């Protein structure tokens, strides 16, 4: 049977967080049975009561040390799930048919531009009061989203070139020896601006927002709002309808920096070029001038690698 000194030592050890020297007696508790000396009996049970209270307190503290971090983690998890569920969906995250606005816009660009490098024979016809005012033929050499060279083929426009290098536009004229800087909004023929002909990758120039779904001419269309994100963008804002069936552009409204709706376009015809279905006819209507429109017809499309020498301001007249 443990002595009183051993009992007191074990109690001290427990209060200090150390292991008792003698075994724990399941009947009597720490330190074994009470002492036989009656004078020490009352003190023993007082210490035993204190020890029991201490053990209960330590047990609760240890339980808290283990459960509190887990509880905190669980609370944070619940809060994060709740925040994500209640968090408003941003414009960029909205989807239609499982696709975001930028994904729809990128797919529509493929219907207009095809592969990354090609030569496109383009005929532009300007109508006024339903009569042809001007008609011009061009070859457009396009390489990716940042390089394009527009070369006039008509005898009366020989020497006319438009070069696009990133955000910069340059033009050479038959009677001007050096290229001059121009803007993408300057008109090339009729309502067709330099940007309409030479810069046709909307995903590179605009930030799209999905406005919803709308039926246009029998097509279920995604309605997008495009906002210019770089100075090379031809327009400040575009409302753009893209078919959800094959992502072909259907129509568009074009807005100037002033907010005016300057043009309306209809993407009217598509056909196969070497097994690839691409835009073949586009009509632009002037919203500021009555009875004027311009058609862009894409007569031929040849995918080919174009050397970088074509995109040089010092050699524009050579090609």
Q: What is the mean pLDDT of the chain?
A: 82
Q: How far apart are CA 4 and CA 74, in angstroms?
A: 47
Look at residue 4 in the predicted model and tell me its pLDDT.
Answer: 54
Q: How far apart are CA 153 and CA 156, in angstroms?
A: 9
CATH entry, 99-318, from 1.10.357.10, 1.10.1200.10, 2.50.20.10, 1.20.1250.20: 2.50.20.10
Look at residue 246 in the predicted model and tell me its pLDDT.
Answer: 94
Mean pLDDT of 288-308: 94
Mean pLDDT of 136-140: 97
Query: Number of helices (H) and strands (E), helices first, in the chain?
Result: 5, 19
pLDDT at 38 over 60: no
Question: Model confidence at 293, in pLDDT bands (50, 70, 90)?
Answer: very high
The pTM score is 0.71
Question: Model confidence at 39, in pLDDT bands (50, 70, 90)?
Answer: low
DSSP 8-state symbol, 35:
P
Query: Coil, strand or helix: which one is 14?
Result: helix
- CATH 2.50.20.10 residue ranges for the chain: 99-318
pLDDT at 199 over 50: yes
Torsion of CA 267, 269, 274, 275, to 10 degrees: 90
Look at residue 83 in the predicted model and tell me its pLDDT.
Answer: 46
End-to-end CA, the chain: 112
Mean pLDDT of 96-114: 92
């Amino acid at each position: 049977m443990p002595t009183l000194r051993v009992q007191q030592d074990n109690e001290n050890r427990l209060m200090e967080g150390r292991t008792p020297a003698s075994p724990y007696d399941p009947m009597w508790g720490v330190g074994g049975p009470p002492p036989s000396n009656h004078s020490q009996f009352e003190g023993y049970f007082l210490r035993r009561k204190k020890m029991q209270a201490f053990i209960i307190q330590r047990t609760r503290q240890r339980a808290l040390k283990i459960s509190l971090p887990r509880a905190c983690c669980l609370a944070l998890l619940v809060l994060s799930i709740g925040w994500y569920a209640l968090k408003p969906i941003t414009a960029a995250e909205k989807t239609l048919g499982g696709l975001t606005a930028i994904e729809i816009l990128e797919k529509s660009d493929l219907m207009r531009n095809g592969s990354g490098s090609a030569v496109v024979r383009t005929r532009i016809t300007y109508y006024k009061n339903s009569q042809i005012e001007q008609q011009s033929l061009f070859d457009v050499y396009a390489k990716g989203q940042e390089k394009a060279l527009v070369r006039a083929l008509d005898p009366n426009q020989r020497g006319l070139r438009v070069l696009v290098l990133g955000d910069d536009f340059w033009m050479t004229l038959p009677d001007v020896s050096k290229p001059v800087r121009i803007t993408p909004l300057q008109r090339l023929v009729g309502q067709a601006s330099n940007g309409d002909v030479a810069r046709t990758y909307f995903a590179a120039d605009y930030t799209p927002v999905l406005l919803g779904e709308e039926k246009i001419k029998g097509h279920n269309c995604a309605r997008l709002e495009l906002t210019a994100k770089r100075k090379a963008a031809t327009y400040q804002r575009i409302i753009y309808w893209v078919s959800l069936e094959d992502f072909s552009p259907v129509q568009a409204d074009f807005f100037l920096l002033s907010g005016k709706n300057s043009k309306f376009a209809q993407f009217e015809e598509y056909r196969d070029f070497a097994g690839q279905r691409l835009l073949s006819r586009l009509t632009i209507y002037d919203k500021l001038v009555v009875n004027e429109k311009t058609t862009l017809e894409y007569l031929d499309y040849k995918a080919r690698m174009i050397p970088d020498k074509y995109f040089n301001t010092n050699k524009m007249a050579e090609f």
